[in-house]
Amino acid sequence: MKKRILIGLLLLASQAGMAMEHSHHGMQMDDKGMIMNANSSNLPRDCEKISENVDITIHAGQKHALKFNGKMFAFDQQQWDVKPCAKINITFINDDDIRHQLMIHGLPGYLYPDGMFHLELYGAGQLQASLILPSQKKTYLVHCELPQHAEKGMKAQLKVDGGDGDLPSIPGITAAVNADVYPVEWSNTAIGLLLLCLLVGGVIPFLITRNK
């Protein structure tokens, strides 16, 4: 009997631990995902009040990269523009069955530890969280920090009051710092196949035309 009670208590503690909020890290996490440094009420020092409430839904996944040559992952949008002191309510949706993150960098450290807001899903699903932006005219980086996800296209930018310029390597907006290169190895076999294709492509139409 005591053993059953002990096992039951351990299971309850485990479940509570999975869903508990780690307030000293500004973190909430469970078996589906994680939220870090959400802020729905604390104003930045340079804001007297919230200027606007903005609801933004952001999708992440492979299908959103199809519109960009050579990219594997992407958000469904690459840019958002809001007013100074705006409160942004983000619904982050992962359309893939692998991990994706949505991170915003460069936020004031006194309000957002490490200057960062972070949403993460371990697979398909969605999370919701809010943040309040300062009044500074600035462009913030939005990206997935998992290895090669940003490099393969999962980058965007969030502009406050028009921003202070565009960030590099934002798909569809700015040129890549290091452009993707797809070299072709011209082996004898490759050259032979190319010549064969050119020959067939020229001879067959000629023969069809001649027979007519």
> CA–CA separation, 9 vs 29, rounded Å?
21
Residue 194 lies in a domain: no
The whole-number pLDDT of residue 177 equals 78
Q: pLDDT in tens for each of the 212 residues of the chain?
A: 555 555 454 445 444 444 434 444 578 999 999 999 999 999 999 999 999 999 999 999 999 999 999 899 999 999 999 999 999 999 999 999 999 999 999 999 999 999 999 999 999 999 999 999 999 999 999 999 999 999 999 999 999 999 999 999 999 999 887 766 656 677 888 788 888 888 888 777 777 777 76
Task: Please state the domain count of the chain.
Answer: 1
pTM for this predicted structure: 0.74
Residue 62: name the closest of 127, 153, 182, 158 by CA.
Answer: 153
Residue 195 lies in a domain: no
Residue 1 lies in a domain: no
Residue 72 lies in a domain: yes
> CA–CA separation, 159 vs 141, rounded Å?
9
Residue 147 lies in a domain: yes
Residue 54 lies in a domain: yes
Task: Say if CB 153 and CB 68 are below 8 A apart.
Answer: yes
Domain that holds residue 46: 34-160
Output the domain CATH number for residue 112. Answer: 2.60.40.420
Residue 15 lies in a domain: no
Which DSSP helix (H) or strand (E) runs through 159?
Answer: strand 155-160
Contacts of residue 31, defined as CB under 8 A and 6 or more positions apart, other chains included, come to 18, 122
